[in-house]
Structure 1
Amino acid sequence: MALAAVTLLTAVPASATPRDPSPVAQTEAFAEPADADDPAIWVHPGDPARSIVLGTLKEGGLAAFGLDARTLQRVPAGPGGRFNNVDVVGDLAVVSDRGRDRIRVYRIDPDGPQVLRDVTDPAAAPVFSASESEVDEQRTAYGLAAGRDPRTGLRWVAVTRRHETRVALLRLVDRPGGTIGTAPLATVDLPSTFRLPGGTSWSPCEEPGERPQLEGSVLDGRVLYTAQEDVGIWRIPLSPAGFGRPELVDRVRSYGVPQRWDAAAEECVPDGADPGFGGQWLEADAEGLAVAHGKLFASSQGDSRFVVYGGGRTRDLRIVAGRGTDSVEHSDGSAISTASLGRRFPHGLLVVHDGERRPTAGDLATTGFAFVRLEDVL
């Protein structure tokens, strides 16, 4: 169900907030170089209770989990690989390899000798880079959302570029030997400078040489929602011919706030008063996006909340500790399935990245994924 009719900027706050949910299960904790980031959900066509959750682990590759959150398989990223985002289309897991600027593809088969089998075209070209030396600069494939065009059945993938504002639209292509490659369809460049009321211009503060990047993305039919971390959430219509006109449908609270880069501190610092042009709900970074039942679910990473848009109102929540599980902080990616997934998740499943999994592994920070019943959220 598309969210075309949802006007996020004018959504009405809920009069009451339901109790904040707790995870039903959580994965093992991961420590660098296996740093959890983004999940996806594959629904088993014959036995939904045997569905698979996938999670990227950056330099640690890709993991497959059962619905009890136990690890079934880990696939290494390989030399130079860094798996950033993952999504599912059909029986394929599609991954952005930010280390090599490639799209990697794995066939999902829980009945096979391995749950995940690499079917990436060995001749796959970089998504954004013109050469391997440009790949080394790491302005590479970053955020990712995959799906099918509901009108043509075309399998397509939207990919954002690290440290840039570009989004590419690719199609998945069957190659000899059962491998899967990609072919470009279109690109669009979102703004890095914004006109404010009163005629002044504003650009979000970034490290020198970088532009305000996008990552968290989700496809909803012929619409791409993608989060520009220091700006807000964009809605972009899609067709096989490419991208329609982007619309900024919600802004982070710091939108329009003057900042400057402090080289000594190596961070952005305030450089003036807040003019009040920001949104109400999102504390930068705006991150993981997911869609369910006509509602858009977004991670407000800066204050460890989640925002639910749609149904004529907007509300927020936290995922708190309970049932013997940890709370969720500073979440990156998220994924939703509305399917009935058996006894554990009869009304659907929300999986979110947990950026501060406790307890830590000695001096190393740990991360993971949390599984939440969808009815507890929506």
Structure 2
Amino acid sequence: MNKLIILVGLILVSCGKKLPVTPPDVITEKTLHDTDDPAIWVNKNDASKSIVFGTDKDTEGAIYAFDLDGKIIESKTIRGLKRPNNVDLEYDFQLNDSTKVDIMAFTERERQQIRLYTVPDMKPLDNGGFKVFTDATMPEANLPMGIALYKSVKTNKFYAIVGRKTGPKNGYLYQYELVSDSTGVKANLVRKFGEFSGKKEIEAIAVDNQNGIVYYSDEGHCIRKYYAEPSKGDKEIYCFGGEYFKEDIEGIAIANYPNNSFLIVSNQQAGTFNIFDVETNAFIKEINLGTTETDGCEVTTEALGDKFPNGLFVSMNDDKTFFFHDLKKLNLQ
């Protein structure tokens, strides 16, 4: 069965078959400059009031906050940033003995740092930012781009896994543990890992907390798969999927269901998304959601009220917007 699916997928990719478009349920209001990467914060008290955050990647950039109607929430939007690139979220970070907070992390490329804020009150936890790749010697190797947060099921530790504009063939990604103590929050480097083909760059990173796996797009080569837990070592698990992409492999989203899970990966120049099985890495299908030149994407399988009762898929479009699709329309199950 898998061989047949792969063969059909290869035929569709090689023939450039035009896929039918599944239109979005919501298109957000426009940002000022250049949308790139989204993240979804699920409001545990009232899922209908969840927030979609998205980067506006420019020298005078911002992290925009949108409600589920795609309207900008100005009070939750962070402006005055220097080229924010990618963004991610995690829940229940232990800030002190009595307080847990949800956190949002994003890269600020032109300041060579990552930022850390609480959600939804949007308070900084980083004293202005955590510098990253401070030992880099290659040009542009200290410019952070991709970021993913990882919460360890095993140890309950929190990590930020960060990529950059360029880097060495080995140790391209840096993993920082986020630690809170009486003096504040710190980002401590715990390892350098991840192979790089050298063909283009590495931007999109996603972590499957449920299975302890990190995926990232080696853009002109493959989707790379590693253990997210530092104690599991730095050996690559798999490098797969490159043959299904027209050119750049971009944004990665992970849809976890009770019985199966899927990778949704942007096939950027084709204007489509490729779906892979998480367990087997097998290609399943290609879908067209109407976006063009998509960089980042994100997904939640949780119901978000009446607006998105089946979960939500968010993807960047190159007209300064993000597209929202009810997850059922992707026909993953």
> Shorter-chain TM-score: what band?
0.7 to 0.9
Structure 2 counterpart of 1:101, which letter?
Q
Structure 1: which 4+ aligned runs deviate by more than 6 Å? 14-18
SS at match of 2:111: coil
Equivalent residue number for residue 159 of structure 1:
162
> Contact conserved, 1:40 with 1:88, CA < 8 A, in 2?
yes
Equivalent residue number for residue 299 of structure 1:
266
Q: How does 1:28-67 map to 2 (within 5 A)?
A: 28-32=29-33, 35-59=34-58, 60-67=61-68
Structure 2 counterpart of 1:376, which letter?
K
Structure 2 counterpart of 1:142, which letter?
M
**Gap change, CA 1:83 and 1:304, over 3 Å in 2:** same
> Contact conserved, 1:58 with 1:77, CA < 8 A, in 2?
no
> Contact conserved, 1:42 with 1:88, CA < 8 A, in 2?
yes
CA distance in 2, matches of 1:213, 1:313: 23
SS at match of 1:151: coil
> Contact conserved, 1:187 with 1:242, CA < 8 A, in 2?
no
Equivalent residue number for residue 310 of structure 1:
277
Q: How does 1:20-169 map to 2 (within 5 A)?
A: 20-32=21-33, 35-59=34-58, 60-73=61-74, 74-78=77-81, 81-90=82-91, 91-109=102-120, 115-122=121-128, 124-130=129-135, 137=140, 139-165=142-168, 166-169=172-175
Give 1:353 shift: 0.6
Unaligned runs of 5+ in 2: 13-17, 92-101
> Contact conserved, 1:159 with 1:168, CA < 8 A, in 2?
yes
Structure 2 counterpart of 1:285, which letter?
D
Which of the pair is proportionally richer in helix?
2
CA distance in 2, matches of 1:86, 1:350: 15
> Contact conserved, 2:53 with 2:65, CA < 8 A, in 1?
yes
Equivalent residue number for residue 218 of structure 1:
206
**Gap change, CA 1:191 and 1:108, over 3 Å in 2:** closer
The normalised TM-score by structure 1 is 0.72
> Contact conserved, 1:233 with 1:251, CA < 8 A, in 2?
yes
CA distance in 2, matches of 1:306, 1:300: 5
**Gap change, CA 1:243 and 1:213, over 3 Å in 2:** farther
CA distance in 2, matches of 1:335, 1:239: 22
Give 1:181 shift: 2.7
The normalised TM-score by structure 2 is 0.81
Structure 1 counterpart of 2:204, which letter?
G
Equivalent residue number for residue 250 of structure 2:
287
Give the alignment's Cα RMSD to 1 decimal.
Answer: 2.8
Q: How does 1:125-274 map to 2 (within 5 A)?
A: 125-130=130-135, 137=140, 139-165=142-168, 166-176=172-182, 179-192=184-197, 204=199, 212-221=200-209, 222-241=212-231, 243-252=233-242
> Contact conserved, 1:12 with 1:313, CA < 8 A, in 2?
no
Unaligned runs of 5+ in 1: 1-6, 110-114, 193-202, 205-211, 253-278, 321-327, 358-366
Tell which structure's C-alpha radius of gyration is larger: 1
> Contact conserved, 2:141 with 2:167, CA < 8 A, in 1?
no
SS at match of 1:245: coil
CA distance in 2, matches of 1:231, 1:136: 22
> Contact conserved, 1:338 with 1:349, CA < 8 A, in 2?
yes
> Contact conserved, 1:106 with 1:118, CA < 8 A, in 2?
yes
> Contact conserved, 1:185 with 1:242, CA < 8 A, in 2?
no
**Gap change, CA 1:190 and 1:162, over 3 Å in 2:** same
The answer as to 2:272 corresponding to 1:319 is: no
Q: Residue 308 of structure 2 is aligned with which of 329, 345, 369? A: 345
**Gap change, CA 1:18 and 1:152, over 3 Å in 2:** farther
Equivalent residue number for residue 336 of structure 1:
299
